[in-house]
Amino acid sequence: MKLDKDLNILIVGLGLIGGSYAMGLHKKGYKVSAIDVNENSIQYALENNIIDKGSTDVDESLISSADLVVFALYPHVFLDWVKSNQHLFKSDAVITDVTGVKSCIVYKIQNILRSDLEFIAAHPMAGKEVYGVENADDAIFKEANYIVVPTDTNTFNAIEMCKAIGETLEFARISSLPPKAHDEMIGFVSQLTHCIAICLMTCSKSEHLVDYTGDSFRDLTRIARINENMWSELFLLNKDALLSQMKTFITEFNAFYEILENEDVEKMKEKMIQSTARRALFDK
Amino acid sequence: MKLDKDLNILIVGLGLIGGSYAMGLHKKGYKVSAIDVNENSIQYALENNIIDKGSTDVDESLISSADLVVFALYPHVFLDWVKSNQHLFKSDAVITDVTGVKSCIVYKIQNILRSDLEFIAAHPMAGKEVYGVENADDAIFKEANYIVVPTDTNTFNAIEMCKAIGETLEFARISSLPPKAHDEMIGFVSQLTHCIAICLMTCSKSEHLVDYTGDSFRDLTRIARINENMWSELFLLNKDALLSQMKTFITEFNAFYEILENEDVEKMKEKMIQSTARRALFDK
pLDDT digits (tens, 9 = 90+) for B134-160: 999 999 999 899 999 999 999 999 999
Q: Which domains does chain B have, with CATH numbers?
A: 8-177 (3.40.50.720), 182-283 (1.10.3660.10)
- The candidate with the shortest Cα–Cα distance to B121, out of B101, B104, B106, B111, is B106
Look over chain B and give the mean of its residue pLDDT values, rounded to a whole number: 95
| Kind of pairing between the strands at B118-119 and B94-97 | parallel
B260: number of Cβ within 10 Å: 21
Asked if residues A249 and A192 have their Cβ atoms less than 8 Å apart, the reply is yes
Optimal mutation site among B275, B276, B283, B284, interface A, most CBs of chain A within 10 A = B275
Alpha helices in A28-136 (DSSP H): 39-47, 60-64, 75-85, 103-112
- The candidate with the shortest Cα–Cα distance to B129, out of A10, A161, A215, A85, is A215
Optimal mutation site among B16, B146, B191, B199, interface A, most CBs of chain A within 10 A = B199
Q: CA-CA distance, A7 to A20, in Å (whole number)?
A: 18
Type and span of the H or E element at B257: helix B239-261
* Tens place of pLDDT per residue across chain A (284 aa): 789 999 999 999 999 999 999 999 999 999 999 999 999 999 999 999 999 999 999 999 999 999 999 999 998 899 999 999 999 999 999 999 999 999 999 999 999 999 999 999 999 999 887 889 999 999 999 989 999 999 999 999 999 999 999 999 999 999 999 999 999 999 999 999 999 999 999 998 776 777 787 788 989 999 999 999 999 999 999 999 999 999 999 999 999 999 999 999 999 999 999 999 999 988 76
Say what the pLDDT of residue B92 is. Answer: 96
Say what the pLDDT of residue A284 is. Answer: 67
Helix (H, G, I), strand (E, B) or coil at A138: helix
* pLDDT one-digit tens code per residue, B60-74: 999 999 999 999 999
Comparing CB atoms, the residue among A127, A193, A253 nearest residue B250 is: A253
Query: pLDDT category, B284, cuts 50, 70, 90?
Result: low
Q: CA-CA distance, A15 to A78, in Å (whole number)?
A: 14
Q: Considering only residues 155 to 214 of chain A, which have any Cβ-Cβ distance to chain B shorter than 8 Å?
A: 173, 175, 177, 185-186, 188-190, 192-204, 206, 209-214
Say what the pLDDT of residue A204 is. Answer: 84
Q: Over B109-138, what HEC string results? A: HHHHCCCCCEECEEEEECCCCCCCHHHCCH
The verdict on a CB contact (< 8 Å) between B190 and A217 is yes
Asked if residues B123 and A214 have their Cβ atoms less than 8 Å apart, the reply is no
Say what the pLDDT of residue A205 is. Answer: 76
Asked if residues B174 and B200 have their Cβ atoms less than 8 Å apart, the reply is no
Bridge partners of residue A175, in order along the sequence: A147
Q: What is the mean pLDDT of residues B24-46?
A: 98
Comparing CB atoms, the residue among B202, B242, B260 nearest residue A260 is: B242
* pLDDT one-digit tens code per residue, B245-274: 999 999 999 999 999 999 999 999 999 999
Whether B48 and chain A come into contact, CB under 8 Å, resolves to no
Q: CA-CA distance, A193 to A175, in Å (whole number)?
A: 21
Which positions in chain A touch B172 (Cβ < 8 Å)? none
Q: CA-CA distance, B156 to B159, in Å (whole number)?
A: 5
Whether A239 and chain B come into contact, CB under 8 Å, resolves to yes
Cβ-proximal residues to A48 (8 Å cutoff; 6+ apart), any chain? none
Say what the pLDDT of residue B70 is. Answer: 98
The verdict on a CB contact (< 8 Å) between B273 and A220 is no
| Kind of pairing between the strands at A173-176 and B94-97 | unpaired
DSSP annotation of A189 reads I
Helix (H, G, I), strand (E, B) or coil at B206: coil
Q: CA-CA distance, B146 to B24, in Å (whole number)?
A: 14
Cβ-proximal residues to B43 (8 Å cutoff; 6+ apart), any chain? none
Q: CA-CA distance, B211 to A175, in Å (whole number)?
A: 7
**C-alpha of A65 from chain center:** 26
Helix (H, G, I), strand (E, B) or coil at B71: strand
> CA torsion sign, B270 to B273 to B279 to B284?
negative
ipTM of the assembly?
Answer: 0.85
Backbone angles phi, psi at B48, to 5 degrees: -100, 20
The one-letter amino acid code at A212 reads Y
Q: CA-CA distance, B235 to B221, in Å (whole number)?
A: 18
Who has greater pLDDT, A66 or B213?
A66
Q: Considering only residues 112 to 151 of chain B, which have any Cβ-Cβ distance to chain A shorter than 8 Å?
A: 125-127, 143-145, 147
Asked if residues A224 and A197 have their Cβ atoms less than 8 Å apart, the reply is yes
Q: CA-CA distance, B279 to A3, in Å (whole number)?
A: 41
Whether A216 and chain B come into contact, CB under 8 Å, resolves to yes
Cβ-count burial B194-230 (b if 16+ within 10 Å, e if not): bbbbbbbbbbbeeeebbebbbbbbbbbbbbbbbbbeb
pTM of structure:
0.84
Question: Hey, which bits of chain A come out as E strands?
Answer: 8-12, 31-35, 53-55, 68-71, 94-97, 118-119, 121-125, 145-149, 173-176
Comparing CB atoms, the residue among B188, B189, B225 nearest residue A279 is: B225
Q: CA-CA distance, B70 to B14, in Å (whole number)?
A: 10
Which positions in chain B touch A278 (Cβ < 8 Å)? 201-202, 209, 224
Asked if residues A241 and A187 have their Cβ atoms less than 8 Å apart, the reply is yes
Query: pLDDT category, B131, cuts 50, 70, 90?
Result: confident
Cβ-proximal residues to A21 (8 Å cutoff; 6+ apart), any chain? A11, A70, A72, A98, A124, A138, A165, A169
The verdict on a CB contact (< 8 Å) between B203 and A260 is no
